[in-house]
C-alpha cells in the first residue's frame, strides 16, 4: 500500500485533506470497491496537449492501480467558459464548435489513458436537465462571498474588470459534476483548486462523502513563460506528427528542461531523475538533455523507434539543410500562375500576405531547395516541389 500511495502522490502539488487518500485506498482494498477518480476537460479546443497529458497521466496511474477512471467532457460547462487564470471573460463557443472539439478530444484521449477502462461522460447529461429551477436550487448551495474568494475573481474585481454572472456559476457547475458521478477523488491542475474544492463542498449537501482533491503542476508552454494553453498557442498536441513534436520540443527554453523531463517526457521517475542529476552535474549538456527529452516525448505518443527517426529527420533538416521524409502533400494551385505569398498563408501558417512578402524578401522561403526571388511563379514549376518556410514548416505539391 505504501508503494502504491507513493506512486500516486508523485508529481502532485496538493492532496487534500492530508491523509485522506491513504485512508480511502485502504478502505477500497478492504471493501473490494475501486475508487471513482474524476477528471474533467472542457472542449474549448480540439487538441489534447502535453499540459493535459500531465493530469491525464495521473488518471492513467489510477487506472493501472485498478481504480475507475471517470473522464468528463465538459460540453455544457464549455458554454460558460472556465474563468481559471483568466483576466477577462472567455469568448463563447457555438454548439457546433463545442461538439467538433469534443469529438477531437475523445479521439485523442487513448494516447494517454486506457480507453478500454474509462467511463467517458458528457456533463450535459445532468446539467442540461437541471433547467431554471434546478440551477436556482444549485445556486442556493453557496454564497457570493464564497465564490468571490477565488483569486481570479478577486483580482478582476480589484482591477475593475468585468465578471459575467455565468462565470460566477462555473465553479458550482463543475462541482455538481462530482455529485453526478459520485467521485471519490478529483484530479486537476493547480489552477483548478477552487473548482475542485467546490465539488468537495457540494457533495455532503447531497448526502455524499466529500471527494479527495489532487492537483498536478501546470506544465509551462513552449514560450517558457505561461502555462501550456491552446488559447495562447504555446502548446504541443499529443496527436501531432512526430517530426513536429520533436522540433517543437527542441525549441523550448533551457530553463524548462527539468520540468518537462519530470512532467512531459514519459520517462519513469528514476530515468528522469538520473538525467536531471547528470544535467545539474555538467555530465549532460543542455542540448543533449533536450534531445533526450524530445526523443522521449515522441516515443511516448508514437511508439518505440519513433524518437530516433524524428531526431534523424530533425538533424537532416537543421544540419544538412535537407527536408523531412514525411510532410503534407497538397494539390497544385489552379491557374497557370501561383502567388507565393498566398501559398504561404494557405499552407504554412503565415498570418498574412504582407508577412509572407517580408519572409520572401528576407530569404526565408524556399521552393525545391532554392530561395524564392519572385512573388509569382508558373504553377507547373511547383509540381512535386517542396515549399519551405524557415527550417520548421514544409509542404509538398502534388505532381499534377
Query: Which pLDDT score, from 0 to 100, does residue 61 have?
Result: 96
Q: Which phi and psi angles does 192 have, rounded to 5°?
A: -100, 5
Specify whether domain 329-397 bears CATH 3.10.290.10: yes
Mean pLDDT of 276-285: 92
Query: Which pLDDT score, from 0 to 100, does residue 207 have?
Result: 97
Mean pLDDT of 40-65: 94
Q: Tell the residue number behind the cell numbers 498557442, with chain if given.
A: 233
Q: Give the containing element (helix H, strand E) for 16.
A: strand 14-16
216 CB-near residues (< 8 Å, 6+ apart): 11, 12, 13, 54, 55, 58, 187, 188, 189, 190, 263
The reported pTM is 0.78
Beta-carbon count within 10 A of 15 CB: 18
Is a pLDDT exceeding 60 seen at residue 86? no
Q: How confident is the model at residue 325 (pLDDT cuts 50, 70, 90)?
A: low
Peptide bond into 125 cis (omega under 30): no
Q: How confident is the model at residue 239 (pLDDT cuts 50, 70, 90)?
A: very high
Mean pLDDT of 31-52: 94
Query: Which pLDDT score, from 0 to 100, does residue 322 have?
Result: 61
Query: Which pLDDT score, from 0 to 100, does residue 91 have?
Result: 67
Is a pLDDT exceeding 80 seen at residue 2? no
**How wide is the angle at C-alpha 10 spanned by C-alphas 37 and 84, nearest 5°?**
60
Query: Which pLDDT score, from 0 to 100, does residue 90 have?
Result: 55
Residues 173, 76 contacting (CB under 8 angstroms): yes
Beta-carbon count within 10 A of 374 CB: 9
Beta-carbon count within 10 A of 299 CB: 20
Q: Give the containing element (helix H, strand E) for 367.
A: strand 365-367
**What are the extents of the domains in the chain?**
2-216, 242-319, 329-397
Query: Which pLDDT score, from 0 to 100, does residue 132 have?
Result: 92
Mean pLDDT of 109-126: 95
Q: Which phi and psi angles does 16 have, rounded to 5°?
A: -120, 140
Query: Which pLDDT score, from 0 to 100, does residue 371 have?
Result: 85
Which CATH code of 3.40.50.620, 3.30.160.270, 3.30.470.10, 1.20.1250.20 fits the domain covering 2-216?
A: 3.40.50.620
Amino acid at each position: 500500500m505504501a508503494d502504491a500511495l507513493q506512486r500516486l502522490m508523485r508529481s502532485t502539488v496538493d492532496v487534500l485533506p492530508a491523509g485522506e487518500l491513504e485512508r480511502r485506498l485502504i478502505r477500497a482494498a478492504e471493501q473490494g470497491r475501486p475508487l471513482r477518480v474524476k477528471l474533467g476537460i472542457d472542449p474549448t479546443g480540439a487538441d489534447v496537449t502535453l499540459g493535459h497529458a500531465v493530469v491525464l497521466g495521473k488518471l492513467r496511474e489510477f487506472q493501472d492501480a485498478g481504480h475507475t477512471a471517470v473522464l468528463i467532457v465538459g460540453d455544457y460547462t464549455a458554454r460558460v467558459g472556465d474563468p481559471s487564470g483568466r483576466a477577462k471573460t472567455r469568448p463563447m463557443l457555438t454548439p457546433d464548435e463545442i461538439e467538433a472539439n469534443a469529438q477531437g478530444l475523445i479521439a485523442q484521449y487513448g494516447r494517454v489513458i486506457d480507453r478500454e477502462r474509462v467511463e467517458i461522460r458528457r456533463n450535459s447529461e445532468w446539467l442540461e436537465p437541471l433547467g431554471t429551477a434546478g440551477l436556482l436550487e444549485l445556486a442556493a448551495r453557496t454564497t457570493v462571498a464564497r465564490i468571490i474568494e477565488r483569486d481570479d475573481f478577486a483580482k478582476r474585481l480589484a482591477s475593475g474588470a468585468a465578471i459575467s454572472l455565468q462565470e460566477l456559476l462555473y465553479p458550482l457547475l463543475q462541482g455538481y459534476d462530482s455529485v453526478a458521478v459520485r467521485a471519490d477523488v478529483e484530479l486537476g491542475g493547480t489552477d483548478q483548486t477552487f473548482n475542485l474544492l467546490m465539488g468537495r463542498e457540494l457533495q455532503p449537501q447531497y448526502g455524499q462523502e466529500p471527494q479527495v482533491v489532487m492537483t498536478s503542476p501546470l506544465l509551462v508552454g513552449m514560450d517558457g513563460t505561461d502555462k501550456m494553453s491552446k488559447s495562447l498557442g504555446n502548446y504541443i498536441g499529443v496527436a501531432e506528427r512526430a517530426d513536429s513534436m520533436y522540433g517543437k520540443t527542441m525549441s523550448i527554453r533551457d530553463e524548462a528542461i527539468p520540468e518537462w523531463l519530470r512532467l512531459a517526457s514519459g520517462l519513469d521517475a528514476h530515468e528522469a531523475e538520473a538525467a536531471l542529476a547528470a544535467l545539474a552535474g555538467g555530465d549532460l549538456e543542455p542540448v543533449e538533455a533536450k534531445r533526450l527529452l524530445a526523443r522521449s516525448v515522441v516515443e511516448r505518443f508514437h511508439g518505440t523507434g519513433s524518437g530516433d527517426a524524428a531526431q534523424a529527420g530533425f538533424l537532416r533538416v537543421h544540419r544538412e539543410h535537407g527536408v523531412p521524409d514525411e510532410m503534407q502533400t497538397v494539390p497544385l494551385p489552379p491557374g497557370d500562375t501561383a502567388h507565393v505569398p498566398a501559398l504561404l498563408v494557405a499552407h504554412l501558417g503565415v498570418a498574412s500576405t504582407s508577412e509572407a512578402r517580408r519572409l520572401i524578401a528576407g530569404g526565408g522561403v524556399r521552393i525545391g531547395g532554392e530561395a524564392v526571388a519572385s512573388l509569382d511563379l508558373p504553377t507547373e514549376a511547383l509540381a512535386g516541389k517542396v515549399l519551405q518556410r524557415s527550417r520548421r514548416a514544409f509542404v509538398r505539391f502534388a505532381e499534377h
